[in-house]
């Protein structure tokens, strides 16, 4: 992982949280009764917990989690459970493949899936739309007016060409970089939802640079892909895509949802919306760094008792001198 791990710069984070829990100055898990401003040099990590069937698990408390940096336990200084009583605000870039492999029928399914995601949303959520083939286009920058995204997708006609998948992801990160960290007292979770057959044929971006930028901006990447299969002595097996090879999805705490070409995949988009909104935000004070020492700090999160799958938005960060 060290070769692909990304430097994470420490920032002074200012959060205004209304009725939050687990804030600095209060024991973790105590409910606050008034607005509290948390200002601290913290490392944050988004955590998603799912059952064996992949369904998000809500209702966990700070004491349910064990957090480590380089295998050393760290105290959770900030904890926010998302999606229990209200939807979580999201900042989402939808990156849609419009290359030669996309038919008009597939384009109609893209529109239906996008609409399914947007039906239930927090009023402070923001969305942008990017398409990619041999060219990466920002059809709509970040907006709260979802009708703009649907209208731009309806009018899009430039299908065909090669596939600049990773260049589109890089452009999506650039868009997310300009989005504020929080709106109206709630932390925005930053997502890219990419819809593609998973095979890049024309990108120019350096993959290590892309992984660094994704990590720096605390972005989680979800994918809905049309998988290819091959026959082996063990049976029918999925052919790994470039997304699989880079581990971009798993490294950022996202999930891949396979789709069947020509079939409705709106359910996958609804599942992504629920999965992203039902999460936990954890933050901790990093360990002391000896003068002049740099390197990778590994973050890991586990549960004390519950048997479930824990996904984190980062595996660690790099320390600079």
For residues 160-181, give the mean pLDDT.
94
Residue 99 domain flag: yes
Tokens of 286: 């990093």
- Residue 85 has what pLDDT? 62
Q: Are residues 104 and 224 in the same domain?
A: yes
pLDDT at 296 over 80: yes
pLDDT at 170 over 60: yes
Within 13 Å, how many C-alpha atoms sit on residue 212's CB side? 11
- Residue 283 has what pLDDT? 93
- Report pLDDT digits (tens) over 66-84: 999 999 999 999 998 887 6
Q: Which residues contact 25 (CB under 8 A, 6 or more apart)?
A: 36, 38
Q: Are residues 242 and 144 in the same domain?
A: yes
Residue 118 · residue 161 · CB < 8 Å: no
Residue 192 domain flag: yes
Q: How many domains does the chain have?
A: 2
- Residue 229: which H helix or E strand, with range? strand 229-232
Which residue has tokens 């209702």? 59
Q: Are residues 149 and 263 in the same domain?
A: yes
Distance CA 308, CA 57 (A): 9
pLDDT at 146 over 50: yes
Highest mean pLDDT pick, 100-104, 125-129, 288-292: 125-129
Domain interval for residue 307: 13-82+279-319
Q: Are residues 175 and 314 in the same domain?
A: no
- Pairwise pLDDT comparison (18 vs 56), residue with the higher score: 56
Q: Are residues 128 and 222 in the same domain?
A: yes
For residues 35-60, give the mean pLDDT.
78
Residue 8 domain flag: no
Distance CA 150, CA 145 (A): 10
Distance CA 75, CA 12 (A): 18
- Residue 309 has what pLDDT? 92
Distance CA 290, CA 271 (A): 44
**Residue 278 DSSP label:** S
Residue 5 domain flag: no
- Pairwise pLDDT comparison (279 vs 227), residue with the higher score: 279
Residue 110 · residue 117 · CB < 8 Å: no
Q: Are residues 130 and 172 in the same domain?
A: yes
Distance CA 148, CA 128 (A): 9
Within 13 Å, how many C-alpha atoms sit on residue 66's CB side? 9
- Residue 84 has what pLDDT? 62
Q: Are residues 290 and 155 in the same domain?
A: no
Q: Please report, for residues 46, 129, 199, 210, 212, the alpha-carbon distance to residue 215 in angstroms, rounded to integers and kept in the order given.
A: 12, 21, 22, 9, 5
Residue 18 β-bridge partners: none
- Residue 291 has what pLDDT? 55
Q: Are residues 133 and 112 in the same domain?
A: yes
Q: Are residues 214 and 295 in the same domain?
A: no
Residue 263 domain flag: yes
Q: Are residues 222 and 197 in the same domain?
A: yes
Helices and strands (H and E) in the chain: how many: 7, 20
Residue 252 · residue 221 · CB < 8 Å: yes
Tokens of 145: 């007016």
| Whole-structure pTM value | 0.83
Name the least confident of 7-21, 160-174, 226-240, 265-279.
Answer: 7-21
Most distant CA pair in the chain: distance in Å?
63
Domain CATH number, residue 261: 3.40.50.410
Name the least confident of 90-94, 159-163, 181-185, 216-220.
Answer: 181-185
Q: Are residues 151 and 284 in the same domain?
A: no
Query: Sorting pLDDT into bands at 50, 70 and 90, what band is 235?
Result: confident
Tokens of 14: 């200012």
Distance CA 221, CA 204 (A): 19
Query: Sorting pLDDT into bands at 50, 70 and 90, what band is 40?
Result: low
Collapse the DSSP code of 109 into the 3-class scheme (helix H, G, I; strand E, B; otherwise coil) and give the result: helix
Residue 225 domain flag: yes
Residue 145 domain flag: yes
Residue 160 · residue 100 · CB < 8 Å: yes
For residues 288-312, give the mean pLDDT.
82
Nearest in space to 224 (alpha carbons), one of 281, 270, 291: 270
Query: Sorting pLDDT into bands at 50, 70 and 90, what band is 7?
Result: very low
For residues 22-35, give the mean pLDDT.
36
Report how far Cα 212 is from the mean position of its chain's Cα atoms: 14
Which residue has tokens 């890049």? 200
- Residue 22 has what pLDDT? 34
């Amino acid at each position: 992982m060290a070769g692909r791990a990304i430097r994470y710069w420490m920032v002074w984070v200012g959060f205004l949280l209304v009725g939050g829990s687990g804030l600095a100055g209060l024991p973790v898990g105590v409910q606050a009764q008034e607005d509290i401003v948390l200002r601290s040099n913290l490392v944050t990590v988004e955590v998603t917990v799912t059952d064996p069937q992949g369904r998000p698990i809500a209702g966990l408390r700070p004491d349910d989690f064990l957090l480590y940096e380089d295998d050393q336990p760290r105290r959770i200084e900030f904890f926010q459970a998302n999606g229990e009583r209200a939807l979580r605000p999201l900042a989402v870039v939808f990156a849609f493949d419009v290359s030669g492999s996309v038919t008009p029928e597939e384009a109609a399914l893209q529109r239906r899936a996008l609409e399914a995601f947007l039906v239930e949303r927090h009023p402070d959520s923001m969305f942008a739309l990017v398409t990619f083939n041999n060219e990466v286009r920002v059809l709509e920058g970040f907006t709260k007016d979802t009708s703009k995204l649907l209208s731009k997708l309806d009018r899009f006609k430039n299908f065909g060409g090669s596939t600049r998948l990773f260049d589109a992801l890089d452009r999506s990160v650039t868009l997310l970089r300009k989005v504020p960290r929080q709106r109206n007292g709630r932390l925005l979770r930053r997502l890219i939802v990419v819809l593609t057959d998973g095979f890049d044929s024309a990108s120019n971006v350096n993959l290590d640079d892309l992984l660094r930028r994704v990590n720096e901006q605390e972005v989680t990447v979800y994918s809905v892909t049309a998988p290819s299969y091959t026959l082996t002595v063990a049976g029918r097996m999925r052919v790994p895509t470039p997304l699989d090879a880079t581990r971009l999805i798993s490294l950022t705490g996202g999930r891949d949802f396979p789709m069947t070409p020509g079939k409705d995949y709106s359910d996958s988009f609804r599942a992504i919306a629920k999965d992203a909104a039902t999460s936990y935000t954890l933050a901790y004070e990093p360990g002391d760094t000896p003068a002049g020492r740099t390197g990778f700090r590994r973050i890991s999160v586990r549960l004390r008792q519950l048997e479930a799958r824990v996904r984190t938005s980062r595996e660690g960060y790099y320390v600079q001198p």
